[in-house]
Amino acid sequence: MIERPEAAVPSIAQRNLEGYVGFANLPNQVYRKSVKRGFEFTLMVVGESGLGKSTLINSLFLTDLYSKDYPGPSQRIKKTVQVEQSKVLIKEGGVQLTLTIVDTPGFGDAVDNSNCWQPVINYIDSKCEDFLNAESRVNRRSMPDNRVHCCLYFIAPSGHGLKPLDIEFMKRLHDKVNVIPLIAKADTLTPEECQLFKKQIMKEIQEHKIKIYEFPDTEDDEDNKLIRKIKEKMPLAVVGSNVVIEVNGKKVRGRQYPWGVAEVENGEHCDFTVLRNMLIRTHMQDLKDVTNNVHYENYRSKKLAAVTCNGVDTTKTKGQLTKSPLAQMEEERGDHVTKMKKMEAEMEQVFEMKVKEKKQKLKDSEAELERRHEMMKRNLEAQYKELEEKRRVYEDEKANWEAQQRILEQQKLDASKTMEKNKKKGKIF
């Protein structure tokens, strides 16, 4: 694979413009394109039945998301926790928003609520997985973003503190999605009770190390002041209403009581406007960015690490996380090649040694046999020589004796000849 080239120049020089260039228009270009593309946002609401979730959604978006034609989940009684989504398209000021509301009817309503957060977690993970698969396809066309960008968690206005279910849920979801806790039906609490309640909740959140969504600091000091004010009001105590009432000649959304009207959009009555401003008007994009850059990346790296490391102890593989699974396979392949080379060298060595041994043994036995053969040959030769010697002696002796015999014979012959002569001569009688 091609290595990262040196196009990323290490030193970046500052340059001053001496005249009009025109890239200050870039923001406008971005604006234009984003409007053309349209926006999408997925909001999840979680809480027990009857906490006013659907009403709050309707109030937030000034629309009847759940109406007679599309009854909300609260109208239906659920035995188990469901996760339901409704998609609506809303337009305002030329800007189009595809809003997906994810509701969780049945949450916390059973007698035994163990694992009632599991369907929620499964839903969030499945949306992340869809996105991961879409992002990893070879042919990528559109990548619709259905990931959950924000989760509004509704806390019952008991006035005391968080319930174990609340703590458990937020602990399990705070690193999967942006969690914004809300105090529901806040018109049942007096301002002082509300303050105490809020303090208690924040204390418990910190105790349990729950990471709720945090507002990012900006460079502008004015904005930072506003942000700090909002932070002090967390968790936001909200009231929702589908009904428009006339108060002092003005038409406002509110809840009519015998003792007065609790106005939804009155900052002194509840924190609804703060929620709306924060959620929709100022931090919607940031919620999406945090989901994309933090929660989704967490999910993705966990998923891919599981694939490549195959359950190996993660502390050992920390260094491998900086590569793609494929690069890791390449590295493993390289390691394997080295290992194989070493193995080959070792086996080669052993082989050579054994061959040498065997050859040596063969040589030795050959030498031994040669030696013995030589010895026997020499032995034989010695014997031959001995025999030869013996024969020679014998031959000599024989020759001598034969010579002697011949002489004797000759003598005898001579003697007999003489005798014959003498006989003839009459000397013999």
For other proteins, the binding residues in 182-211 under the rule CB under 8 A are none
| Shortest CB 101 distance to other proteins, Å | 11
Residue 45 Cβ vs other proteins, minimum distance, rounded to whole Å: 17
Distance CA 397, CA 110 (A): 138
The total of other beta-carbon atoms located within 10 Å of residue 421's CB is: 11
Binding mask 312-341 for other proteins (x = CB under 8 A): --------xxxxxxxxxx--xx--x---x-
Answer yes or no whether residue 295 interacts with other proteins by CB under 8 A: no
CB contact at 8 A, 48 and 156: yes
Nearer to other proteins by Cβ, of 79 and 316: the residue is: 316
Stretch that binds other proteins, among 76-84, 95-103, 170-178, 256-264 (CB under 8 A): 95-103
Total number of residues that touch other proteins (CB under 8 A): 136
Q: Applying CB under 8 A, does 82 fall inside the site for other proteins?
A: no
From 401, 410, 420, 423, residue interacting with other proteins (rule: CB under 8 A):
401
Q: Residue 262's beta-bridge partner residues?
A: 255
Q: Does 375 bind other proteins (CB under 8 A)?
A: no
Q: Under the criterion CB under 8 A, does residue 385 sit at the interface with other proteins?
A: no
Q: Given the complex with other proteins, which of 207 and 370 has the nearer CB atom?
A: 370
What the block records as the tokens of 162 is 């968080």
DSSP 81-96: ---EEEEEEEEETTEE
Cα 83 to Cα 79: distance, rounded to the nearest angstrom: 12
Q: Where are the beta strands (DSSP E) in 104-231?
A: 150-155, 179-183
CB of 307 to other proteins, least distance (A): 4
Distances in Å between the Cα of 279 and the Cα atoms of 79, 95, 165, 286, 357 are 31, 16, 25, 9, 83
Residues 341-370 within binding reach of other proteins (CB under 8 A): 343-344, 347, 351, 354-355, 358-359, 362, 365-366, 369
d(CA 369, CA 367): 5
Which residue in the set 376, 403, 407, 413 belongs to the binding site for other proteins (CB under 8 A)? Answer: 376
Query: Binding residue for other proteins (CB under 8 A) from 68, 79, 91, 425?
Result: 91
Q: Decide: is 410 part of the binding site for other proteins (CB under 8 A).
A: no
- Does 4 participate in binding other proteins (rule CB under 8 A)? yes
Q: How many CA atoms lie within 13 A of 269 on its CB side?
A: 18
Report the site for other proteins in 135-154 (rule: CB under 8 A). 136-140, 144
CA distance 287 to 282: 10
Q: In the complex with other proteins, which residue's Cβ is closer, 91 or 209? A: 91
Residues 82 and 106: beta-carbon distance below 8 Å = yes
Of 18-47, binders to other proteins (CB under 8 A) are 18-36, 38-39, 41
Write out the binding residues for other proteins, residues 112-131 only, by CB under 8 A. 129
Q: Which of residues 211-230 bind other proteins (CB under 8 A)?
A: 218-220, 222-223, 226
Binding other proteins by CB under 8 A: which of 76, 199, 378, 390? 390
- Answer yes or no: are the C-beta atoms of 138 and 144 closer than 8 Å: no
| Cα gap 185→157, rounded to integer Å | 7
For other proteins, the closer of residues 50 and 325 by Cβ is 325
Among 285, 314, 349, 418, interactor with other proteins by CB under 8 A: 285
Minimum distance from residue 375 beta carbon to other proteins (Å): 11
User: Any contact of residue 310 with other proteins (CB under 8 A)?
Assistant: yes
The CB density around residue 60, as the number of other CB atoms within 10 Å, is 22
In the complex, what is the shortest distance from the CB of residue 97 to other proteins, in angstroms, rounded to a whole number?
Answer: 5
Q: Which long-range contacts (CB under 8 A, 24 or more apart) does 295-298 make?
A: 295/128, 295/147, 295/175, 295/176, 295/177, 295/178, 296/128, 296/131, 296/132, 296/147, 298/175, 298/176
For other proteins, the binding residue among 87, 371, 406, 421 (CB under 8 A) is 87
